[in-house]
Homo-oligomer: A and B are copies of this chain.
Amino acid sequence: MPKISKERLEIYRELRRDFKEDEFINLHPIQRGGVLSPEARKAIVEFADGYSTCDWCPPKTARLDMIERPPIAQFMQDLAEFLGMDVARVVTRCREAQFISFTMLGNPGDYVVLDSLAHYSTYTAAELARLRVKEVPHSGYPEFRLNLEAYAEKIEEVKRETGKPPAAVLLTHVDYLYGNLNDAAVVGKICKEYGVPFILNAAYTGGIMDIDGKKLGADIITSSGHKSWAASAPTGILAATSEMGEKLFARSKIVGDWSKRKFGVKEYALLGCTVMGAPLMTLIASFPHVVERVERWPQEVEKARYLVEQLERIEGTRQIGVRPKNHTLIHMESDGFFRASQAHKRRGYFLYEELRRRGIVGVQPGLTKHFKLNTYGLSQEKVERVAQAFLEIAREQNLSVS
């Protein structure tokens, strides 16, 4: 008798996603850059089975990044070069890349200086590495602009407090809340002056914008395959200068006390191999597409600005964060839609539902006053349909449209 009855297992049959990318226009703030390329869709089927990358694992140096069939080893080099760094590894998530950086650069109790708009996972990565955080402030509503020069002050503060510089500095290249793009070179310069390792978290930029880590003064770049590289989750990227790579990718030194076993080929912060299957292969299969698409970034920004312009025609509606947009992640504030929701029988859900009725998803159900959307990779025609839909819904709710 199976432990769990057939009836109870029924809910796991015929698992369906809420929508299909080709049937809806999806504006989900975290999903746009992770929509697979057609090539990745083929690769995920080809490499679907567990350990599918390991058919030709080299016996002596059994390590994922050394596999040549499929061309994983070559990919690691090309990936590093593409980011303007010396060495790269694929890890399970951008947050893991950050954790590895923190734990290999710092000791418990050390500080990491980070921006106050960093993703929660940056904070929890620091917490797991037993580091303390010191935040660089932002300007608050409505721009939430980071004061990048304050990185110097914060490094000084850590030095006064602990007698030594922080273990690392982290800047979120584009934050998840407002989609503000930061000039990483400013922070790179400060870090160089103080001799502190600079981690650039490119979760929302690597894979959609061209990034040259060396030019920006980054010692480490972290990024997210499922967020910005047209790859399946979970995939993270950890790229570094040679010097920093020595620290992050240190080989295992542990020795079995009885057996004397050693594992000197393994990079212990990665726990050896990382993404040994389908998601890695989607990342690789999408790479030619990604190399090409970053060249089209200016057009992507144009579409985002166009949508903001259209949405701001709606009464009491404006874009929050630095203006004009330099990224496709958009945070809107709408007193208009909020007032409409107060009177609507579906309350805050009306906006989601009205959009969905028009073939548009991704705005979080229930939200009207503040909502985020992302236009990355949508055609101009689709962005126009999105704009029209919002304007139409506004008019239906008797909001004025200028």
Contact = CB atoms under 8 A, between A and B. Distances in A.
Interface string A30-73: 11011110011111111111111111100100000000011100
A241 interface: no
A401 interface: no
Contacts of A81: 3-4
A44 B56 CA distance: 23
B103 A128 contact: yes
Contacts of A314: none
Interface stretch (A132-140, A165-173, A179-187, A315-323): A132-140
A41 B35 CA distance: 19
A163 interface: no
A127 interface: yes
A112 to B, nearest CB: 11
B6 A50 contact: no
A135 B234 contact: no
Contacts of A278: 44, 232-233, 278-279
Interface stretch (A286-294, A334-342, A391-399): A286-294
Contacts of A350: none
A230 B231 CA distance: 21
Interface string A15-43: 11111010000001011011110011111
Interface residues of A, number: 116
A128 B268 contact: yes
Interface stretch (A191-199, A254-262, A305-313): A254-262
A380 interface: no
A41 B30 contact: no
A93 B92 contact: yes
A135 B259 contact: yes
Interface stretch (A116-124, A214-222, A325-333, A382-390): A116-124
A92 to B, nearest CB: 4
A160 to B, nearest CB: 14
Contacts of A51: 28, 30-31, 34, 226-227, 233
Interface string A74-113: 1100100110000000001101100100010000100000
A366 interface: yes
Given A127-B254, A288-B6, A271 B59 contact: no
Given A21-B49, A34-B50, A233-B276, A271 B4 contact: no
A190 interface: no
A8 interface: yes
A274 interface: yes
A304 interface: no
A357 interface: no
Nearest to A250: B127
A281 interface: yes
Contact of A254 (B18, B33, B75, B123): B123
Contact of A279 (B74, B124, B279): B279
B232 A364 contact: no
B292 A124 contact: no
24 contacts: A2-B292, A2-B295, A3-B210, A4-B291, A9-B291, A12-B75, A28-B51, A28-B55, A31-B49, A31-B54, A35-B49, A44-B278, A45-B45, A50-B225, A50-B235, A59-B364, A93-B271, A120-B272, A121-B272, A123-B261, A123-B263, A128-B271, A232-B278, A234-B279
Given A36-B50, A48-B232, 6 more contacts: A12-B75, A12-B284, A21-B49, A49-B232, A120-B266, A234-B274
